[in-house]
Structure 1
């Protein structure tokens, strides 16, 4: 009975009695309870932070969707504005071409009228010369010369008009 294991067991029982009397068990229990409370509080705080992070993430995703929609609206608006500008440019170009064509047609018509007037004047001048030559050959005298001049002047005036 006096073996080493016996004395170890007796020492252990005495140590436990002294520890119990000194309140070591209640201190260990309080320490464990305090630690459990601290861990519970940290878990609650982590849960609150997680929920807050989830709310922030949801807000970020919502803002991202809104930003994408706004960007698409801006792109669509820019495309419409570009199309309007292109249409306006095309319209102005067509108007410019129409005005230039009209001006060219007017110049052509004026040139044709001027050429026609020049041809008529040249024809009238040639007709007057031919007529003067023929009448000079056929008519003789001062009275005939006056008649020829007045007739030719009248012919020239009529042909030029």
Structure 2
């Protein structure tokens, strides 16, 4: 037994374990393993917290994006409605402008017709007076005739106008 190599390896191993235990290596190894385990669990907790924060931020940004899309859609809808309203108002203003211009043109035409009618009437009166004067001068003669023609022409002129 004392001569076998296995026995002496076993004795050396026990002595080695004793020396390790004497210097507190097992407690140091256990403390080191415990601290590493604690550090790993802390890192996992931090990773879990960071993941939850990231998920929360993702939800917030998705909500903000959805709100921004709704707002953009409302802006587009409002702009479209405003453009349609402005187009309707422009068409109404244009129609009113055309109506006013047409009415003004019709009024000018009516005024021109009245003026032309008055000018034609005045020309007809002048022509009738001249014709009457020539007829009366040709048929009546003498000083009383001259006075009669003037008075008659004045009466005709007054009645025709």
TM-score, normalised by the number of residues in structure 2: 0.88
What is the rounded CA distance, in whole Å, between the counterparts of 2:13 and 2:157 in structure 1? 157
- Higher mean C-alpha displacement, 54-63 vs 134-143: 134-143
The 1:156–1:20 alpha-carbon spacing in structure 2 relative to 1, beyond 3 Å, is same
Q: Which residue of 1 aligns with 2:110?
A: 109
Q: Which residue of 2 aligns with 1:78?
A: 79
Question: CA RMSD of the aligned region, Å?
Answer: 1.8
Tell me how far 1:110 sits from its aligned partner: 0.8
Q: Which residue of 2 aligns with 1:145?
A: 146
TM-score, normalised by the number of residues in structure 1: 0.88
Show structure 2 runs of 5+ residues with no match.
Answer: none
What is the rounded CA distance, in whole Å, between the counterparts of 1:94 and 1:9 in structure 2? 116
Show structure 1 runs of 5+ residues with no match.
Answer: none
What is the rounded CA distance, in whole Å, between the counterparts of 2:16 and 2:146 in structure 1? 172
1:115-134 alignment to 2 at 5 Å? 115-134=116-135
Aligned pair 1:55/2:32, yes or no?
A: no
Structure of higher RCO (CA pairs closer than 8 Å, 6+ residues apart): 1
**How many residues of Structure 1 are paired with residues of Structure 2 in the alignment?**
159
What is the rounded CA distance, in whole Å, between the counterparts of 2:82 and 2:151 in structure 1? 74
String of CA shifts for 1:8-67, please: whole Å, max 9, x gaps. Answer: 554333212211233212221221121111101110111011101110110111011111
